[in-house]
Chains A and B, each alone.
Chain A
Amino acid sequence: MTTNGHQFAAAPAPWTDGCVDTPAGAVPRVRTTWSAADRLGAWKVRWNLGRMAYSVAPGLYAVGTPSPESPVFVTASYKLSFDHLRRALDGLDGWILVLDTHGINVWCAAGKGTFGTGELVARLAAVRLGEVVRHRRLIVPQLGAVGVAAHEVKQQSGFAVVYGPVRAADIPAYLAADCQAAAEMRRVRFGLADRLAVLPVELVLGFPAMAGVALVVAIAGGLRGGAGDMREILHCGMNAAALVLAAFLAAVVLVPALLPWLPGRAFSIKGTAVGLALVAAAWAAGWLPNGGSGWLLELLPWLLLLPAIAAFVALNFTGASTYTSLSGVRREMRLAIPPILVAGAAGVLVWLFV
């Protein structure tokens, strides 16, 4: 079946529900509820499973029974973005214009320019939007403004861009208020739920590198066990690897969870605090040396290494946060990376040779 801008190779997507006839051809109508498959897909991408291939075909879609006067909502071809939008439009009539962002969400794609003026102008021409609707207005998600220049879209296509709310869920209230977004709808939040939502991807992305570090530390720990028997060597190596992984996990979980309450503005300071807390807890629990002769010297390497690991993991979380600037991250990295490397190297050297 060939419809307006869409080529369905086999069957139409399961989240469609027939078609709407327009002067520019048949337009697939989308469902406004999530099926079990949609929910499973949303869960999987949070765990980085197939996240880079979770996309919908660019083009025009219908919601409800739209007329030529119905509003047009623009979104990205990342299916999770698209799904949030169609769910928010439940009970409404309108059009959805999906730009080709290679399966990337609105904000990230706008930063790269794929959700941008050029693609928007080209896409609305390709779907012949001017023949489908009589008005000349597009509701673009506010975060798309990073890539879209409203005045240039107007010049190039005649369509006026109005920026909708940051979150699709606010669209019904936005429409009810005659397309006026309350100040709160214009703010990007980074509340607990938002921070925990990005946690699994951080965990999955960071794990291979951290497992590599743990393996190296385990081997070094085994060698450090030296002439001892095999069981002693294994124990020493495994224990060291477990401490490294504990620092990684503590930072990946606690930095997002406790972000507003951890000390400092710099993420590396927040991570250091988590690392020190881990050392204190492990020391108190007897996991780290807290007695016997020379226990302080035994503790020192971990006091250096674990906070350094946690600081680095926390620094990495800047990319998932919604409020760090490039200039700020560059400054933090200039200031934080040297001490992190020095503390980490010093920790390993003290451990191996002192």
Chain B
Amino acid sequence: MPALRYLRNVTTLRLDAERCHGCGRCVEVCPHAVFSIAAHKAQVRDRDACMECGACARNCPAEAISVRAGVGCAAAVLNAAMGKRGACCCE
């Protein structure tokens, strides 16, 4: 089966390698295996797999990761544009 991949070059994910301690939490929490650890530093090995869930940034004790976290849901984007809240898959 072909792998499911969304649009290229859209993610807002940023990793500041200077700040990284190499604890590996990002590798642990990422549901799409975006990160890997090499030489005690995290690196982004598969940037386009990022779905901007924000788990990595929230769990980075060094605050080395930033991402504009959100839910990739067209209904929620439409509702937000029309001034309504929520109403996606889980509401």
Residues of A within 8 A of B (CB): 52, 104-105, 108-111, 142-143, 145-151, 163, 166, 181, 183, 186-188, 190, 198, 201, 259-261, 265-267, 315-316, 318-333
Q: For the complex, what is the distance from the CA of A216 to the CA of B68, rounded to whole Å?
A: 40
Report yes or no: A326 in contact with B4, Cβ–Cβ below 8 A: no
Q: Does B32 contact A (CB under 8 A)?
A: yes
Partner of B7, one of A186, A316, A332: A332
Chosen A-B contacts, 10 in total, with CB atoms closer than 8 Å, are A143-B31, A149-B59, A150-B25, A151-B59, A187-B31, A322-B51, A325-B6, A326-B52, A327-B52, A329-B73
> Count of chain B residues with Cβ under 8 Å from any Cβ of A?
43
Shortest distance from the beta carbon of A76 to any chain B beta carbon, whole Å: 11
Report yes or no: A260 in contact with B2, Cβ–Cβ below 8 A: yes
Contacts of A143 in B (CB 8 A): 31, 55
A-B contact count (CB 8 A): 139
Which residue on B lies nearest to A266, using beta carbons? B7
Q: Does B37 contact A (CB under 8 A)?
A: no
Contacts of A201 in B (CB 8 A): 89
Q: Does B17 contact A (CB under 8 A)?
A: no
Q: How would residues 1 to 30 of chain B score, 1 for a CB under 8 Å from any chain A CB and 0 otherwise? A: 111111110111000000000000100111
Partner of A318, one of B10, B28, B50, B74: B74
Report yes or no: A323 in contact with B6, Cβ–Cβ below 8 A: yes
Q: For the complex, what is the distance from the CA of A110 to the CA of B70, rounded to whole Å?
A: 11
Report yes or no: B77 in contact with A333, Cβ–Cβ below 8 A: yes
Shortest distance from the beta carbon of A124 to any chain B beta carbon, whole Å: 18
Contacts of B49 in A (CB 8 A): 323
Report yes or no: B72 in contact with A148, Cβ–Cβ below 8 A: no
Given the known interface contacts A104-B90, A150-B25, A326-B70, the answer about A190 and B4 at a Cβ–Cβ threshold of 8 Å is yes
Shortest distance from the beta carbon of A184 to any chain B beta carbon, whole Å: 10
Report yes or no: A146 in contact with B7, Cβ–Cβ below 8 A: no
Partner of A329, one of B31, B61, B72: B72
Q: Does B76 contact A (CB under 8 A)?
A: yes
Which residue on A lies nearest to B76, using beta carbons? A319
Report yes or no: A186 in contact with B89, Cβ–Cβ below 8 A: no
Given the known interface contacts A265-B6, A319-B72, the answer about A329 and B58 at a Cβ–Cβ threshold of 8 Å is no
Contacts of B12 in A (CB 8 A): 327
Contacts of A322 in B (CB 8 A): 31, 51
Given the known interface contacts A186-B31, A188-B31, the answer about A326 and B71 at a Cβ–Cβ threshold of 8 Å is yes
Report yes or no: A321 in contact with B29, Cβ–Cβ below 8 A: no
Report yes or no: A265 in contact with B8, Cβ–Cβ below 8 A: yes
Report yes or no: A331 in contact with B74, Cβ–Cβ below 8 A: no
Q: Does B33 contact A (CB under 8 A)?
A: yes
Contacts of B78 in A (CB 8 A): 333
Report yes or no: A145 in contact with B29, Cβ–Cβ below 8 A: yes
Given the known interface contacts A318-B72, A327-B68, the answer about A187 and B32 at a Cβ–Cβ threshold of 8 Å is yes
Other 14 A-B pairs with CB < 8 A, given A146-B53, A147-B58, A326-B77: A108-B71, A111-B69, A145-B55, A149-B59, A150-B25, A186-B28, A186-B33, A201-B89, A316-B75, A323-B5, A325-B10, A325-B51, A325-B70, A326-B71
Report yes or no: B32 in contact with A188, Cβ–Cβ below 8 A: yes
Contacts of A146 in B (CB 8 A): 53-55, 58, 69
Report yes or no: B89 in contact with A265, Cβ–Cβ below 8 A: no
Given the known interface contacts A145-B55, A190-B4, A324-B6, the answer about A151 and B74 at a Cβ–Cβ threshold of 8 Å is no
Report yes or no: B89 in contact with A326, Cβ–Cβ below 8 A: no
Q: For the complex, what is the distance from the CA of A147 to the CA of B31, rounded to whole Å?
A: 14
Which residue on B lies nearest to A161, using beta carbons? B59
Report yes or no: B11 in contact with A261, Cβ–Cβ below 8 A: no
Which residue on B lies nearest to A155, using beta carbons? B61
Which residue on B lies nearest to A331, using beta carbons? B10
Contacts of B91 in A (CB 8 A): 52
Shortest distance from the beta carbon of A40 to any chain B beta carbon, whole Å: 21
Given the known interface contacts A149-B58, A186-B33, the answer about A324 and B28 at a Cβ–Cβ threshold of 8 Å is no
Shortest distance from the beta carbon of B45 to any chain A beta carbon, whole Å: 12
Contacts of A332 in B (CB 8 A): 7, 74
Q: For the complex, what is the distance from the CA of A328 to the CA of B52, rounded to whole Å?
A: 9
Contacts of A327 in B (CB 8 A): 10-12, 52, 68, 70
